[in-house]
Chain A
């Protein structure tokens, strides 16, 4: 897990390795989007180095990202609660999408 870095006043980015055995499949994708929707901030994700950022609140787009096991996910948040949002998503992915509180 890497540290969260702050680009400007309300934009935070971080990255985390996807340890989930089967990659970003239905269950993790649903958990990720559900968590992202709890925040006001605009949150985007991408597989490290991918050209486009993807809306972390769209399950269709998260699934379409097809992040494989072992890939690094970059997370970017912009908005008032962006720092908490990015931290929460990093934690979710790093802890392999645990059940409960999602």
Chain B
């Protein structure tokens, strides 16, 4: 804190509300500062060993992957095996550079080269190289990911942050995320909202210096080395925010939300089992969306049946009689998974993702379906397929599921076929909703809006245009909800709109009676429904 002299303030865009005051940590610089150069021989040996480790990891991945993904992985291995390429890096070490600095510097050069290529295919390789760069750096650091060196409660600043890195940071002691670029609709922003981590994006250029920072997720500001006055004002804003949250939490304890005499069911979205630790989760009517992609990325390999079963079973046990909707792997698009998703797609959002990918890789999909079929015996499980375009895809998925259940039962394993539903996120599905023989529908408003509005949701430049309340998006939500009311099939909405109190009134008026929200916004949405019910406009 500096008395009297106001610290620099920067404004960005809100990605996740909340307040954080803590040490300021630049992630991109932190990594290069990790390693002090040892002797020339030590550094060369350290790099050689890290490369061997990384190379073996990639070979293992490629063995599982097959297809185009394996070819890209083979390219990474070939690069590690490229004597000319490595000679430059070992030469830098010979001149006294630390192993990680030498490696990073050459890789960054390559990444920049590829990033500037006129050919889209080559440009896409730059992220493969970034992946390779980070894999070797991690190996150099002894793969102690939990000890990235970020103190608990820090304001983490980066150009952008991949979801995997977000998950490696310990957010249990608070803290926040300040991105110079990034987008409120990105995958990492979704994670931040789910975990209640304040996050501001598109802050522009910020000097590397700064000991402490204030991050205001509501006002979308970052203040570096704040003076007493700035801290005072920040604390006042934080207090107002906390009070309104406390009021919302009082409403949370009431049994059920209702609107115009109708019961409104509020479910929660979870990314992984630990999200159930959120203090508000117990008040939910169930799990409206359990994502399963994180099972794919934890160890670099694809999760086996038992690992998956344990995760699903834990959530079902937590839920008791309450329904749990688990979504099958939704990889692809902005969620690439090495060894699973196809590389080199010119337009991955319109590519082989979601159910399309699972049906293309039945050997991987069947493992998930087996784990789900076994878990279905123990609770109120519903399973939904993401990114469904045609009724046939649902039926092909169902057939596979039925087959899996029959095989398990034939082998004396307890298994059941859960209720099967689909995500409504492809406009074609919303428009042809009566053609699907689904037990329930869940509207994925993030992708639905992206596809209807033709706006890439990871592109920050389009954030203003990507309005989920655009009449075209609302119209499709309404049609889907009306179809549900006509036929008695349950329809919920699990996209970010459900967690945004500004959208609640519209969604209820569309005919939706089930919303699935982030645990951290459950209280606020319940309060909003309550306010609307009492004649207010919105909470």
Contact = CB atoms under 8 A, between A and B. Distances in A.
Contacts of B81: 59
B119 interface: yes
B82 A58 contact: yes
Contacts, number: 52
A1 interface: no
Interface residues of A, number: 18
Interface stretch (B71-79, B163-171, B435-443): B71-79
27 contacts: A23-B119, A25-B121, A25-B122, A25-B344, A26-B71, A26-B72, A26-B75, A27-B75, A29-B78, A30-B71, A30-B74, A30-B75, A30-B78, A55-B84, A57-B84, A58-B83, A59-B75, A59-B79, A59-B81, A60-B84, A60-B110, A61-B84, A61-B85, A63-B75, A63-B125, A64-B113, A66-B122
B65 to A, nearest CB: 13
B413 interface: no
Contact of B78 (A23, A25, A33, A66): A33
B117 interface: yes
A50 interface: no
B75 A29 contact: yes
B83 A59 contact: no
Size class of the B contact interface (CB-based, 8 Å): 10 to 19
A22 interface: yes
Q: Is the interface of B mostly helix, strand, loop or mixed?
A: helix
A34 interface: yes
A59 B71 contact: no
Interface in B450-466: none
Interface in A50-75: 55, 57-61, 63-64, 66
B84 A34 contact: no
Interface in A5-59: 22-23, 25-27, 29-30, 33-34, 55, 57-59
A68 to B, nearest CB: 8
B125 A26 contact: yes
A33 B78 CA distance: 8
Interface in B38-95: 71-72, 74-75, 78-79, 81-85
Nearest to A61: B84
A64 B81 CA distance: 16
A25 B122 CA distance: 8
A60 B82 contact: yes
Q: Most B CB atoms within 10 A — which of A22, A57, A58?
A: A58
Nearest to A23: B119
A100 to B, nearest CB: 14
Contacts of B119: 23, 66
Contacts of A29: 75, 78
